[in-house]
Amino acid sequence: MNRQRPPKGIEWTRVKRVIDGTLVELPGYTWNPTGGCLHGCTWKMPDGSVTECYAKTVAERLASSAYSQGFEHHYWRPHALKEPLQLKEPAGIFVGSMADLFGHWVPAEQIREVMDVMEQAHWHTFQTLSKYPVRLVEFNPFPANVWVGVSLPAGHLMKLEGGARALKAYLRHMEQIEASIRFMSIEPLWFDVASVFADWLQSHERLPFEWVIIGAASSGRSIFQPKADWVQSLLDIFDAQQLPVFFKGNLKWHKWRGDFPQNASIRLQEPQLWPLQSLKTALAG
């Protein structure tokens, strides 16, 4: 596991939780019992350049035995499975910073082994993040100490309408996830996401997540800020919904938000599986 030390690293792994009445910042880690990813995400930047996934860049830079067959390959690392159990101090642990644990190519038995370790290591707070939410319901209910995240669809080969359609499909799948905390990572914020959430709220009482991360687009050292009205519209919706918001360090905004969900109670509901075809149809758009 890799410690995410401030000011660098993935800041939202350093979860703040109320423990015995006191707000405590937990040390943050990444943990990669699987590696590699076949989603092939790329984003078109506002200057016209196209950037690829940061994990792919890092993996190829490492060019080590850890990614001997490239990044777009599935690696299973059973030797890393017990690492969280060996860490006795409570921590926030992002599972799969170099992978999508719930990618369609990952054998279910491997995911279940990872889930078993997360459940055994109940003193940690685990965060998973996927761009394939259709598969998450297969693993309901998630252990109480696992926060289940879904990322905004990537912006490659997709027109804005396609991104909005895919996000709507993502929300329908998120609604079916049984987890104490579901979260949405809106990074990079590359289109007017707020309008999708506003549409959703026309027919639903609430958004299907309990925490939100918002970030800017980055390509190497270049950072591209989202339109201010996109951010403001999102904040208006999240504030009305009383959803905690966490800003990535690359987002410029006043006033700063770095909030975490505090009431992680198990939320169980009758599972209604959305067919895989609904997501494929949306993505094809």
- Residues in touch with ligand SF4 (CB under 6 A): 37, 39-41, 53, 55-56, 100, 131, 154
Q: What is the smallest separation between the CB atom of 8 and ligand SF4, expressed in angstroms?
A: 19
CA of 147: how far to CAs of 35, 93, 174, 176, 182, in Å?
A: 20, 10, 12, 14, 6
Q: What is the smallest separation between the CB atom of 39 and ligand SF4, expressed in angstroms?
A: 4
- Identify which of residues 191 and 238 has a Cβ nearer to ligand SF4 in the complex: 191
- Identify which of residues 53 and 181 has a Cβ nearer to ligand SF4 in the complex: 53
Q: What is the smallest separation between the CB atom of 188 and ligand SF4, expressed in angstroms?
A: 10
Query: Cα–Cα distance between 24 and 8 in angstroms, integer?
Result: 19
- Identify which of residues 100 and 210 has a Cβ nearer to ligand SF4 in the complex: 100
Q: What is the smallest separation between the CB atom of 272 and ligand SF4, expressed in angstroms?
A: 25
How many CA atoms lie within 13 Å of 59's alpha carbon, on the beta-carbon side? 24
- Identify which of residues 154 and 279 has a Cβ nearer to ligand SF4 in the complex: 154
Contact 153, 116 (CB under 8 A): no
Query: Is the C-alpha dihedral spanning 209, 261, 15, 270 positive or negative?
Result: negative
Which two tokens mark 55? 């994990």
- Identify which of residues 96 and 143 has a Cβ nearer to ligand SF4 in the complex: 96
Q: What is the smallest separation between the CB atom of 37 and ligand SF4, expressed in angstroms?
A: 3
Contact 127, 106 (CB under 8 A): no
- Identify which of residues 92 and 96 has a Cβ nearer to ligand SF4 in the complex: 96
Which two tokens mark 38? 């076949």
Query: Cα–Cα distance between 245 and 196 in angstroms, integer?
Result: 17
Query: Cα–Cα distance between 23 and 27 in angstroms, integer?
Result: 13
Say which DSSP state 97 is in: T
Amino acid at 251: L
Query: Cα–Cα distance between 33 and 162 in angstroms, integer?
Result: 32
Query: Cα–Cα distance between 199 and 197 in angstroms, integer?
Result: 5
Q: What is the smallest separation between the CB atom of 54 and ligand SF4, expressed in angstroms?
A: 7
Q: What is the smallest separation between the CB atom of 198 and ligand SF4, expressed in angstroms?
A: 26
Query: Cα–Cα distance between 269 and 70 in angstroms, integer?
Result: 40
- Identify which of residues 41 and 93 has a Cβ nearer to ligand SF4 in the complex: 41
Output the DSSP codes for 1-32.
-EE--TTSS-GGGS-EEEETTEEEEPPEEEE-
